[in-house]
Amino acid sequence: MILPAEARHDRDGPRNRGRGQGGRLVKFGWVLPGRGAARGVSGFARLVPRWQPAIIRSCLPVPGDAGSLREMSELRHECGIVAVYHWLGDEVSPLVPGGDPNSASRLVPRMLIDIQNRGQLAAGFTTFNQERNQLIDTHKEVGSVAEVFHLNRQEAYEKLMREYAGHAAIGHVRYATCGKDDRSYAQPFERHHIEKGKWFSFAFNGQLANYPELRDEILSRTEFHLARENDTEILMHSICLELKGDRHPGIVEMLRDLSQKFDGAYNIVFLNAVGDMFVARDPLGIRPLCWAKEGPLFAAASESVALSNLGFSAESIQSLPPGHVISIQNGEFQISRFAETPRPAHCFFEWIYFANVASTLDGRNVYLSRAALGKKLALRETVPLDSETIVVPVPDTAKAAAAAMAFELGLPCLEGLMRNRYVGRTFIEGKNRADKARTKYTPVPEVMRNKRVLLVEDTIVRSTTMRALIRQLKSRGGAREVHVRVACPPIVAPCFYGIDMSTVKELFAPRFMPDGRLTPEVEEAMARELGADSLKYLRIEDLAECVDKPPETLCQACVDGNYPTPAGTRLYQLAIENDRCGAESTGLERTYDVSATVRPAASACDSGNAEAAPSIPAVTGGEAKSR
């Protein structure tokens, strides 16, 4: 068997392949922290058992990158995926450029543009063409979709599209918080093999919450090696192991075996050198996945907007049910169940924050969900409403909620805060939060001067952006009052299923809610901390109604602490314990970067002072009713 590894396209992998994140030497089931991690723990380097998660998610910051990450208060999604397949034959889809089935691969950059909201760090695609030596070939790079595919340089774009022409293709956009802007972390991941059925490429959206256990299982074999500390490589190795030797499992059989090993969110698009393709959604359906088929053309994407903008009719676009796979083998199209779904656990954040507002996910339109959030916020409003009161959204994802809230209250919804959409990923943002906010957002004093502003935001995570915005609205915008309205309940817990989320310690809300209850008094204390005149959150019990889903079919772990998988529950308990014991002072910036057993000297846990470091309870009963 050829050991699973990316060949030609990832020969420029990360430096120091024998080392893990942060310069920690990985060997024989133990992790030796670097000097920075050892300081603050004791005068000696500690050995940490490998089963304790040194890095538990696909994209966590290395210690050297933590400072810049702390300054980012916006949530980031991990990635988005697409796939396209055109059957060869006499019939050609009118959606394919030039009437050529091998131009189907040209649809991928267009689809990725439409889901660029899910990732701006890197992009790529793999195409299949049986007429070329490189049966499957991968192009990927760090940058936006326009940069990676040369969409602003016609000659370079045409050359790239000719080189990678094919009737089947998969694509990926990535956002991540781990490591550097390294091409080797970009997807798809391609694995070369002399046997065509074992030469494959895949892309992945989600996060394996039991990554540490999967990693240790692989590394328990001394002849195996992992070049990257992420769960995408774990997934690649796991697929390779399913295909090892003389085994030739069917797609459903392989996914059924993998589903029994994986805990978390994993949507996969897969293409091999035979021309077989599959598109799979994990048994809980945590992340969205949509598909459509018209005539000889099939396409799939993380969001429906990518399919509708290609030209598929609304009637053709569907969501793939959890635990199901669409496979195309020997030209035959089939939808199969590979795993039972104990209960769906759709991430509610997809509707209120991440997804394109034009998308429809699992039968529910994103815009309608956000408008419903705004209507619920309107019902909670208590400030005096007069001709000097206006509603202002924080662009862009809060616009729908703000407009609906303003309509219900009979107030004008004005764009008093403008977002610079052309800053992109540049060095000019500055080093501190205030610089970043000034670069990204511009208040309009002609709109807000001497006004009572109801500032609508989709969520508050770390609060750094919100603090800066409130100061700007008052000092630069001239607002007389700023009342913050949040179209989401308080974020009280990390996410282990594919969202860049902070530690418990870095989250804004938990320290104000020691008993897990949100009361008017708690909201008043939060408002004082932010510098706002008042603050109101959406209630947990309103979420399911706004998304138009039964609450038992949603994952709301980040707002109620109830995780839908065993590994997620274990990691949350670890995060709480690390926060209670001050594990962040070890130099690792996430509470779940290190085990709770690695405690700094003289911590509150060691002193036995329970009040010095209270545990953070899960919010199990919803928020307290306003009195």
Q: Which residues are catalytic?
A: 79
Q: How many CB atoms neighbour CB 11 within 10 A?
A: 9
Pair 568, 558: CB distance under 8 Å? no
What is the Cα–Cα distance from 281 to 263, expressed in whole angstroms? 13
Beta strands of 87-158 (E only): which ranges? 122-128, 136-142
Phi first, then psi, for residue 529 (nearest 5°) are -65, -40
Going by the DSSP 8-state scheme, the letter that residue 19 receives in this structure is B
For residue 376, the SS3 value is helix
Query: Measuring CA to CA, which residue among 341, 207, 342, 212 is closest to residue 287?
Result: 207
For residue 275, the SS3 value is coil
Phi-psi region of 331 (alpha: psi -120 to 50; beta: other; left: phi over 0): left
Pair 489, 478: CB distance under 8 Å? no
What is the Cα–Cα distance from 104 to 98, expressed in whole angstroms? 10
Q: In whole angstroms, what separates CA 527 from the centre of its chain?
A: 28
Q: Two tokens at 595?
A: 């085990």
Pair 344, 304: CB distance under 8 Å? no
Please tell me whether the peptide bond between 188 and the residue prior to it is cis, using omega within 30 degrees of 0: yes
Q: How many CB atoms neighbour CB 369 within 10 A?
A: 26
What is the Cα–Cα distance from 543 to 349, expressed in whole angstroms? 10
Interstrand relation of 481-486 and 452-457 (parallel, antiparallel or unpaired) = parallel
Pair 489, 523: CB distance under 8 Å? no
